Amino acid sequence: MADPVRPEAALDLSADVVAITQAICDIPTVSGDEGPLADLIVDALADAVHLEVIREGDTVVARTNLGRERRVVIAGHLDTVPINGNVPTRFEEVDGRRVLWGRGTVDMKAGVAVQLKLAHELADPTVDVTWMWYDHEEVAADFNGLGRLLKVRPDLFEADFAILGEPTRAEVEGGCNGTLRLDLRTRGRRAHSARSWVGENAIHKLAPALERLAAYEAETVTVDGLDYREGLSAVLVHGGVAGNVIPDEAVLTLNYRFAPSRTIDEAVAKVRALFPEYETDVTDASDGARPGLDDPLAQQFVQAVGAEAKPKYGWTDVARFSALGVPAVNFGPGDPLLAHADDERVDCDEIVACERALRSWLTGATG
């Protein structure tokens, strides 16, 4: 297995966008190791006199200050999940199409490459742009670079519209579903399994909940013209003491992916109403994000991409912008089903298509 490539030369943002993608993918940036790439980005933007460059930890912000009537945030994360023999990258032919294979190609360095090239080249966009490249997206939310930046520089998030470079196959995916994790807990009484009738089996008490989940039909909820399919699933089960003991406690963890029209409180109330006889504990919850596609900026962007907007079912950082009242969409190259996969790979044509669409929109050459 080849060793990961460490940066030895400057990042050339005048290169074509596929070459930039390969260059940054060959720099290992597993969460916590984004510093070397952040250094290269700051250096590469040093000659872009149209940009104000700000660094906070390993998050880099570059923004124009042209006095435009409207401002857009365009963001992408620098980190990846752990490498597993898939760095350095390589080019392959898959079904007659040229793809770039390797960690981060989909999630989401191809999108970052598009952003970096445009940030460097577009000195006179039709809107002011705040570009954000942030660290620690692939780990616990407490470490997220966007969240950290929001605490220390909330002014940088002032905008009329936001785009997150998550992989969407070069299509627009508006907003995102919210996510809720909730534990159902049952209690029983321990006993020797040879005399099970003396005890009370907590695991058996989960059976009605599992039957209810198996029969549950998730809703599809229309929000701002997009149909968000919800999901309610059992994702973890804990219980048992030993192989000869009737368990006195069991926990079933549920994950509810809920439409962005619902609040967290409404989502919690809905799940608890389905399981009224169980003790419940909320362990994690994040609001979804409405797509805000009624905004003229969003409509112009969808027109520039040239495809019908779709909903984003998974949770993404667009929710951070939505919580601030900033409508946000996901847009980037790559199939999200390949994100984090060992055979992660991106269609090179999608990278080019994303660059063209964003360039067209930011320069006003839509239609």
Catalytic sites, residue numbers: 79, 137
Of 17, 18, 64, 59, nearest in space to 38 by CA: 59
Do residues 238 and 264 lie in contact, with contact meaning Cβ atoms separated by under 8 Å?
A: no
Distance of alpha carbon 238 from alpha carbon 185, whole angstroms: 9
DSSP-based three-state secondary structure for 269? helix
Locate tokens 């605490």: which residue?
Answer: 151
> C-alpha dihedral over 264, 270, 273, 276, to 10 degrees?
-50
* Cis before 208 (ω within 30): no
> What sign results for the dihedral spanned by CA atoms 142, 144, 147, 148?
positive
Distance of alpha carbon 174 from alpha carbon 189, whole angstroms: 49
Distance of alpha carbon 121 from alpha carbon 45, whole angstroms: 10
Of 46, 119, 36, nearest in space to 79 by CA: 36
Partner residues linked to 6 by β-bridges: none
The secondary structure of residue 301, as a DSSP letter, is: H
